[in-house]
Amino acid sequence: MSRSITIGNKTITDSADAYVIAEIGHNHGGDIGLAAELVRMAAESGAHAAKLQKRDNKSLFTKAMYNQPYTGRNSYGATYGLHREAVEFGEKEYRHLAEVAAEAGIDFFSTAFDFNSVDFLAELGVPAIKMASGDLTNTPLLAYAAKTGIPLIISTGGAGMADVRRAVETILPLNDQLAVLQCTAAYPATPDVLNLSVISTYREEFPGVVVGLSGHDVESESSVIAYSLGARVIEKHVTLDRSMPGSDHHFSLEAGHLRDLVDSLERTRRSLGSPVKELLPVEAPALHKMAKKLVAARDLAAGEILTVEDVAIKSPGDGLRPYVLDELVGRPLLVPLAEDEDIKLDDLG
């Protein structure tokens, strides 16, 4: 069964390059200018999509959580709700950033954390909707998003296989445009908790679904390994400066890191190449020099019956390969051969 998902004008399959999502999240700090700069940076660094996070804060949080004090270096408001409101964009900002992304040649979409946000993004006309790990067990929201017909990408951090299976079984009957991302909900995630082998588990469990990685680690090696295991959607947080205040900046990729990631993934795709083992044209010169052929070990007269001692194995490798030696022994020569002259099957009786 072939697996594919189409986001915008890009169809992602097993034979395609990785589709790289630059997760801006709230690293813009509520500054539309900074958000636009991050979108452009993502495009210039080779990412295929820039992504935000959309919340309808007052309907999403309980009053107690919305009103709880929220102070510290990473806070944009006195309470958690006010902090969230300060970094939340509305329709005007989203439409502006969608235009910036279109001009830069990059897809633009967002994570929806609630029903109102799904409606918001659907009305905006985004090419995909992301569902966060925290909503993997929120099957009513998953089904609601699936019914929009917009391609869905789901992260699977903090979940067991039963949770992932339930989510996929909720979405697929409603929407077959789905990507499932292995994720570890730790910020940052260290190599010992990435569990990239889960990618293989997902590919076996969901043969018609595109698989990927939402990586919260600070390096790019895991993404390259993930691609080698079959991940075709790679999501990484991005920032202009890791030292900026905010909870996500310290594990996000700066422009140079993102470019290196995209380039590494493209090289990985080329390096994996074909599963068919065969002699390649590029190998011919080396094989000519290093491989061996069968030649006369001494001057041989016509009519002689070849013995093992009559045959030498020498370079270059532009004649009969040594594995046919047994086919030559015991057969008469039809023509005389000088020492080191190639032995040909047509020369034998």
Q: What is the pLDDT of residue 7?
A: 98
pLDDT at 188 over 60: yes
Q: What is the pLDDT of residue 247?
A: 59
Are residues 214 and 171 part of one domain?
Answer: yes
Q: For residue 40, which amino acid is it?
A: R
Are residues 287 and 268 part of one domain?
Answer: no
Q: 249, 272, 295 — which closes off a domain?
A: 272
Q: What is the pLDDT of residue 242?
A: 59
Are residues 341 and 260 part of one domain?
Answer: no
The answer to whether the CB of 177 falls within 8 A of the CB of 19 is no
Q: What is the pLDDT of residue 243?
A: 55
Q: 243, 272, 301 — which closes off a domain?
A: 272
- pTM equals 0.88
CATH number at residue 302: 3.90.1210.10
Q: What is the pLDDT of residue 73?
A: 73
Q: What is the pLDDT of residue 78?
A: 86
CA 330 to CA 310: how far, in whole Å?
11
Helical segments of 56-137, H only: 57-60, 63-67, 80-86, 91-104, 115-124
Residue listed under structure tokens 């010992």: 192
Range of the domain at 311: 281-347
pLDDT digits (tens, 9 = 90+) for 295-317: 999 999 999 999 999 999 999 99
Are residues 69 and 126 part of one domain?
Answer: yes
Q: Which two tokens stand for residue 32?
A: 């539309």
- Residue 60 or 3, more confident: 3
Are residues 141 and 40 part of one domain?
Answer: yes
Are residues 43 and 15 part of one domain?
Answer: yes
Largest CA distance in the chain: 103
Q: What is the pLDDT of residue 27?
A: 76
CATH number at residue 182: 3.20.20.70
Report, as an integer, the average pLDDT of 241-266.
75
Q: 224, 243, 272 — which closes off a domain?
A: 272
pLDDT at 100 over 70: yes
Q: For the chain, how many structural domains are there in total? A: 2
Are residues 297 and 249 part of one domain?
Answer: no
Are residues 225 and 113 part of one domain?
Answer: yes
Buried b (16+ CB within 10 A) or exposed e, 237-260: bbbeeeeeebebbebbbbbebbbe
Are residues 179 and 291 part of one domain?
Answer: no
